[in-house]
Structure 1
Amino acid sequence: MNLINKKVTHKRFGMGSIVKQNESSIEINFATENKKFIFPDVFGKHLQLHDKNVADSLEKIIQKKEVELREEEWRKREEKKLYQKNRELRLEHEKLMKNHKLHPESQMVFWCDTEEQISSFSEWKVFSGVIKSGNNKGNTVKPIRLYQNSAVLLTEIDSSGTEKNRRILGVYMVKEDFIGKLCKDGNIPAHSKYRLKLSEQESDQMLFWNYYVNEKSPHKMTWNTGKHRYFDNLRMAQILIDIVELKSDPKERELAQQFLKHFCKMNQISVQDIPKPDGALMHI
């Protein structure tokens, strides 16, 4: 909008004429001197245009600018809130990691149905489930034992439905910054690198009960209820060792070896000290 030579009246300096203008300021020639003002802020309270049509057009510009300023202020407030929230989460995360003590059973075994088998490997995550009863009924289950040292084992029962034939489908470390206590949506995502899927033939050779034993009923192979259960760190290491031995493809074998090395480092396990598998199937 060109305001050069437009007549104005200022509350203090009286009548004048606009002689210079840019995006952020205007200069007005009054009877005794020239004065500079911030544009368009000076209009409205301190300065009035004589030309009504131009004044109306300018008012629309000012209103639009005020709306933009309010939106910008709102955006900055929201950004500040988000920054503060993320900062608090980060500090809580750092505190939890600093004070974290390794739990001897901080691994998870998950029972995948047909649909979950597809989604688990396409999205590389599992859902911890929903609480079925009590005061927290309907809330998602928090996988409180899972930290950066944790792996998730994916299993299924074959078409015969015999528990002793439960097969291992794959395994992954949890995402690098995952902390179960902070997991609100129940989704347990995979590490960006350490994730292994077994072929059909490999799964047939990796039976879960070769490694797992229910301490309360060591001679029984029953899953009972629920989609998942926590699992011993050493038993998970046993599984990883056997997966390494099972892999014939050089690239897959190398990744499995790196997975095992990373897992043992995170769980403070020496590979030499890992005992041989001693699951329930070994005692039949």
Structure 2
Amino acid sequence: MNLINEKITHKVFGEGNIVDHDDSIITIDFNKEIKKFVYPDAFGRFITLNDRNTANSLKEILMKREMEEEALERKREEEKERRALEQQRRKKLKTHKIHESSQIVFWLDEEEQQHVFSGWQVSTGKVQSGKHEGQPNRASRLGPNSAGLLTAREADQPETKRRILGLYMVNETFSGNLTNDGMVPSHAEFRIELTDQEAKKMLFWNYYINKNYPHRTTWNSGKYRYFDNVCIAQILIDIIALKTDEEQIKRAENFLEYFCQMNALDKDSIPEANGALKH
């Protein structure tokens, strides 16, 4: 807004004329006495525009600027709070000896898809090489705080179409370090199965990201992967929003509550999903 040559009244110096201004300083001539003031702070506190229409226009501009600054400040405060919560979370993980990526995602083959929701346990497969070749894989990070995510895609589909079929909490007595058969059993209560239509809306790569290659969506080999604890919470939140049956919604909410408790997460501060498909 161009204010040059506008007449003003200062509470102390009286009448003056604006001779120059930029984004931060306004220069006023008080009968040959030149003074500079902070712009726009001086308006409303010390300086008043004499022309009412110009004063109203400036007021609207200043109100808009103030709202933008308040929004920016809120954003800074939210980011500050988010970082503080993240530090608290990491501290809790360290205190309780919880790995921040102690969740497991399975790639189910056709046979496993047929019976996984009746047996509610999945194999980690066998070691493919080395001195332990042929022995069951030990998912050493898994414990009572872990969840098993069940995923699949059709052979003729790209990896980006990998669907989430369901998930379960690992049995509360399970330890990946101690397993001998490579099976990961489920908790008796915390289990969720998605319908075919629901699974199509729950794409794995909306949540998972390779931090070293954020745009890459590849899973060339391996029966399972570890991934971030927060991702499971994000998935559960979206499942709650997706479900329509009240009983199923309640079960998913209880699952989320338990999962967050076990992983030292604040369920009200879970960030939005930021998987590879979001980039």
1:102 correspondence with 2:98: yes
Say which of 203, 207, 228 aligns to 2:203. 207
Q: CA deviation at 1:160?
A: 3.1
What pairs with 1:204-243 in structure 2 (closer than 5 Å)? Answer: 204-243=200-239
Identity of aligned residues (%): 50
1:274 correspondence with 2:267: no
Instruction: Tell me if the contact between 1:132 and 1:138 (Cα under 8 Å) persists in the aligned partners.
Output: yes
Q: Which residue of 2 aligns with 1:132?
A: 128
Q: Which residue of 1 aligns with 2:247?
A: 251
Instruction: Tell me if the contact between 1:108 and 1:230 (Cα under 8 Å) persists in the aligned partners.
Output: yes
Gaps (5+ residues) in structure 2?
A: 1-94
Alignment TM-score, normalising by the size of structure 1: 0.64
Secondary structure of the corresponding residue to residue 155 of structure 1:
strand
Instruction: Tell me if the contact between 1:129 and 1:140 (Cα under 8 Å) persists in the aligned partners.
Output: yes
Instruction: Tell me if the contact between 1:158 and 1:167 (Cα under 8 Å) persists in the aligned partners.
Output: no
Give distance in 2, aligned partners of 1:178 and 1:108: 13
Q: Which residue of 1 aligns with 2:171?
A: 175
What amino acid maps onto 1:181 in structure 2? N
What pairs with 1:108-147 in structure 2 (closer than 5 Å)? Answer: 108-147=104-143
Write the deviation string for residues 121-171 of structure 1: whole angstroms up to 9, x where unpaired. 110000011000011111110111000000000000135321001000000
Instruction: Tell me if the contact between 1:155 and 1:169 (Cα under 8 Å) persists in the aligned partners.
Output: yes
Give distance in 2, aligned partners of 1:195 and 1:161: 27
Rg larger in structure: 1
Say which of 171, 180, 183 aligns to 1:187. 183
Write the deviation string for residues 70-108 of structure 1: whole angstroms up to 9, x where unpaired. xxxxxxxxxxxxxxxxxxxxxxxxxxxxx9610000000
What amino acid maps onto 2:244 in structure 1? S
Query: How much is the aligned-residue C-alpha RMSD, in angstroms?
Result: 1.2
1:197 correspondence with 2:197: no
Gaps (5+ residues) in structure 1?
A: 1-98
Q: Which residue of 2 aligns with 1:153?
A: 149
What amino acid maps onto 1:254 in structure 2? K
What amino acid maps onto 2:143 in structure 1? Y
Secondary structure of the corresponding residue to residue 115 of structure 1:
helix
What amino acid maps onto 2:152 in structure 1? E
Give distance in 1, aligned partners of 2:262 and 2:200: 29
What amino acid maps onto 1:225 in structure 2? S
Aligned pair count reads 185
